[in-house]
Structure formats: structure tokens, C-alpha cells
Amino acid sequence: MSHAKLNFSRIEFDQRLTKTRQEMQQREIDLLIVSDPSNMNWLTGYDGWSFYVHQCVVISTDRGLFWYGRGIDSKGAELTTDLDLNNILAYPDEYVMSPERHPMELLANILKEKGLNKKRIGLEKDNYYFSARAAESLYSSLPDAVFSDQTGLVNWQRAVKSETEITYMKR
């Protein structure tokens, strides 16, 4: 059970996820790996300051959603999202700045375990928080997936404000 105090209602977050999933379907994307901190926040409420390590929210069109990041940051995901603890997945520190292994390799293994390794996967490729090495790790670890650049997919959903967001902005 989450102890998070969300800045928006669960209904608001559900509407955001629905909008994003509809756009994913339009673009024929099964899975989206979101690495932009503002997009992760908009989708889940996640508010972490660990931009210097790999972290992401993974959203699928079949209602799947989970946060993935460094173990030490998982408590932040518990405190700022209402994700079930089973959907807060962490990697150990041995993956941080390692020349031998990359956090996206472990994410690829998680996707394989969940049967998501042969999907059409969108990436925020032109994003400050997603490195070339992250992409290379995913490509080599998930050879049966089809990848596409979906930079801006969530950003464009964020551009059209809900009534709640407009009310907050006016305040």
C-alpha cells in the first residue's frame, strides 16, 4: 500500500495514462520507456532528484505501468506515486557508472520476464536523460523488439491541460 500524497487525484492520473495509451495505439507502440523527469512526474507523480542515474517509467497499452530506477531512489517512488510496491523495480548500485554492465540490460531482463521483449517499444531518444549507451544496451539486449523514437509523445499529451490543471495554474 502506498503512503504517497499525490498532487493530483487518482482520476487525473488515470486520464493522463489513458491519453498517453491512446496516442501510443495511434502510433502503433506497445510499450513506452519514459525517461524525462517531467514526463515521469506527469504520468505517475514520481518526484525524484536522481537525474544523474538511469530511471524511467515503463507504460504499456495493456494497462501495465512500473517505475524503474536505482535502489536507493525506490523509496522516493514509494513516497511520491501510488504505484503498488510490485511496480517499483530497482537496480543495485553495481550498475551505476559501471563499464561492465548497464541498468538498461537489467531492465531488458525484466521486460523479458514480463513477456514484453518482442514488442514495439518507443523511446524518448532525443532526451537529455536517455543516453546513447542506454539505447545500445536495449537494442543489444532485446533483439526481437522493434524500437522507435517517440520523443515528445508524452510532452504533447501534457500540452493540452485538463480542467484540474487549469485550476491549479490559475491559483
At 22-45, the pLDDT tens digits run: 999 999 999 999 999 999 999 999
CB 142 within 8 A of CB 30: no
Q: Which of 10-14, 58-62, 106-110, 114-118 has the lowest mean pLDDT?
A: 10-14
Most confident range (mean pLDDT) of 5-14, 17-26, 50-59, 159-168 is 17-26
The fraction of the chain above a pLDDT of 90, given in percent, is: 87
DSSP for residue 76 = H
What whole-number distance in Å separates Cα of residue 54 and Cα of residue 132? 12
Share of the chain above pLDDT 70, in %: 98
pLDDT for residue 81 is more than 80: yes
Tens of pLDDT along 103-147? Answer: 999 999 999 999 999 999 999 999 999 999 999 999 999 999 999
52 conformational bin, left if phi > 0, alpha if psi -120 to 50, beta if neither: alpha
Q: Tell me, what DSSP letter sits at residue 96?
A: T
pLDDT at 3 over 80: no
3-state percent breakdown (helix, strand, coil) of the chain, nearest 5 = 45, 15, 40
Stated pTM of the model: 0.94
115 vs 118: CA distance, rounded Å: 7
Give the Cα separation of 84 and 138 in Å (integer).
25
- The pair phi, psi for residue 156, each rounded to 5°, is -70, -30
Query: Quick one: residue 56, left, alpha or beta (phi over 0 = left, psi -120 to 50 = alpha)?
Result: beta
Strand, helix or coil for residue 128: coil
> Running DSSP on this structure, what letter comes out for residue 97?
T
Q: Any idea which residue has 537494442 for its cell?
A: 139
Cβ(4)–Cβ(79) below 8 Å: yes
